[in-house]
Amino acid sequence: MDRNLFIGREYEIRQLKKYRSSKESEFVIVYGRRRVGKTFLIKEFFDDTYDFHVTGLYKKPKKMQLKNFYLALQEYGANIKKVPTDWLEAFDELKKLLKGIKENRKKIVFIDELPWLDTRQSEFLGAFEGFWNGWGAQQNDIMLIVCGSATTWITKKILSDKGGLFNRAARRLFLMPFTLQETERYLISRGINWSRYDIVECYMTMGGIPYYLKLLDNELPYLTNIDNIFFKRNGSMWDEFDHLYETLFGNSKAYLKIIEALSTKKAGLTRQEIINETHLEDNGLLTEMLKNLKDSQFARVYNTFGYNEKNLVYQLADYFTLFYLRFMKGKQNPDEHFWTHYLDNPAKSSWAGQTFEQVCKDHINQVKKAIGISAVLTDISSWNGISETGKTQIDLVIDRRDRITNICEIKFSVGEFAIDKDYEDKLRKKMQVFREATKSRKALQLVMITTYGVRQNSHSGIMQSQVKMDDLFVGAE
């Protein structure tokens, strides 16, 4: 196992080592967004060596799934003469295979893309529960690892299951995308030494998704890489969007209605606003879809400052999706040098400013560390409202338990950001409207979050603290 391959997965490696060396059988669920590196983590950790390994087939019927399982059993030495007729028989054959291993060690079973095995009316889940609850969990030498890109299936059928697997899935490893720091380390490990400005902009196009980052060519500059990957005819990411949603969600068309509605408003939408935009029914299915988008990290959910949970706001949080819908959707014959030619376009500047706000929210622990409040309990929210003074919108509010509220202003610029008189007046008005509308008695402190800092001048004194782009690259406590 090469530790350099596991940038950003140090915690998961420690846990896998712990589970492998335990004195009891372990059921480990590795889940997270598609392309985040679940299969890579398991294959590299175990050096692609198992006592049994099978991968579910995407959208294939039960008969083909069973044959695939049968061929895997044969590959690992099972004495099996025919394809199992059902999943009970298939898992019984797996049990026989594992029983036949006499070595005194953990037997490693890896089932990848587990949700794809659970085809309609296949009764797969019952047989799987029977295999683990009725036998595997009673042993002391089995390590069963399952992965799945369909986070919604994993969450609903295993993690939240109230039946046979309830509380049996004690080992959960949810893989997060890379942070900016991890992204920088990963790029350097691949011979890519870009400026942090370019790394942030790259992050805003594809997020910290290892599979996407691996597509970058270390011999090409940032702009050329984006052109080649996204806009070149038959580029690596040209058809990724359709595959992404089809493999994650069964009813992908309804999900896409929600996603596209969220993409139209950077501050996000309430449930009622989503209904108004999509014309979807206000029922349990919508509740499930919104939960699934949250669990899969395609949507961020937060409160509007001063409101209760009925006013939850759903905000599109997947960087690739944001980028695709803004710049790629519907373009049949794109300019293959689109990103390079678009360098100074106002629409790109608008996208960069809005998306940098997302980056800051995804690195809120780094923001808190930079302003010295890591140990302070906080609530994170957004706010928009109106008072007699006027109306305003604040994209990031850090409400602190020490009687202070940080009003965060976020700016993405190519150099130091200068506050002039007009902008100082605008900031003062924004804080006044917030004070009047919320009736808050806490001290309000302005935090400027920028790429290269705020230029010191006669107007910069309005801010109490600042966070620079470099601060977002530190490790979070």
Q: Which two tokens stand for residue 415?
A: 């150099």
Q: Please tell me whether residue 91 adopts helix, strand or coil conformation.
A: helix
Angstrom CA distances, 137 to 26, 107, 117, 129, stand at 7, 13, 21, 10
Taking the model in full, what pTM does it have? Answer: 0.91
Q: What is the DSSP string of 395-435?
A: EEEEEETTSEEEEEEEE--SS-B---HHHHHHHHHHHHHHH
Q: Which two tokens stand for residue 320?
A: 């690739």
**Mean pLDDT, rounded, of the chain:** 91
Residue 155 is predicted with a pLDDT of: 79
Q: Please tell me whether residue 292 adopts helix, strand or coil conformation.
A: helix
Pairing relationship of beta strands 378-387 and 390-400 according to DSSP bridges: antiparallel
**Residue whose structure tokens are 């299936």:** 153
Residue 254 is predicted with a pLDDT of: 92
Q: Please tell me whether residue 282 adopts helix, strand or coil conformation.
A: coil
Core vs surface per residue 111-130: b (16+ CB within 10 A) or e: bbbbbbbbbeebebbebbbb
Give the helix/strand (H/E) hosting 41: helix 38-45
Neighbours of 224 (CB within 10 A): 15
Regions of the chain short of the pLDDT cut 50: 1-3
- Point out which residues pair with 314 in neighbouring strands: 269, 301
Determine phi and psi for 146, rounding to 5 degrees: -125, 145
Rg (CA), the chain: 25
Spatial CB neighbours of 226, under 8 Å, sequence gap ≥ 6:
202, 205, 339
Residue 5 is predicted with a pLDDT of: 61
Closest by CA to 346, choosing from 357, 354, 334, is 354
Across the beta sheet with 299-302, the strand order is: 269-270, 313-316, 299-302
Spatial CB neighbours of 325, under 8 Å, sequence gap ≥ 6:
259, 260, 263
For the stretch 74-84, pLDDT in tens is: 999 999 999 99
Burial class (CB in 10 A: 0-12, 13-18, 19+), 201: buried
Q: Are 315 and 267 in contact (CB under 8 A)?
A: yes
Angstrom CA distances, 431 to 248, 254, 299, 439, stand at 42, 39, 28, 12
d(CA 101, CA 362): 46
Q: Are 229 and 327 in contact (CB under 8 A)?
A: no
For the stretch 375-412, pLDDT in tens is: 999 999 888 888 888 888 898 999 999 999 999 999 99
Residue 251 is predicted with a pLDDT of: 78
d(CA 245, CA 240): 9
Residue 87 is predicted with a pLDDT of: 98
Residue 267 is predicted with a pLDDT of: 81
Helix/strand number for the chain, H first, E second: 20, 13
Domains along the chain with CATH numbers? 3-175 (3.40.50.300), 180-238+328-357 (no CATH), 241-327 (1.10.10.10), 366-473 (3.40.1350.10)
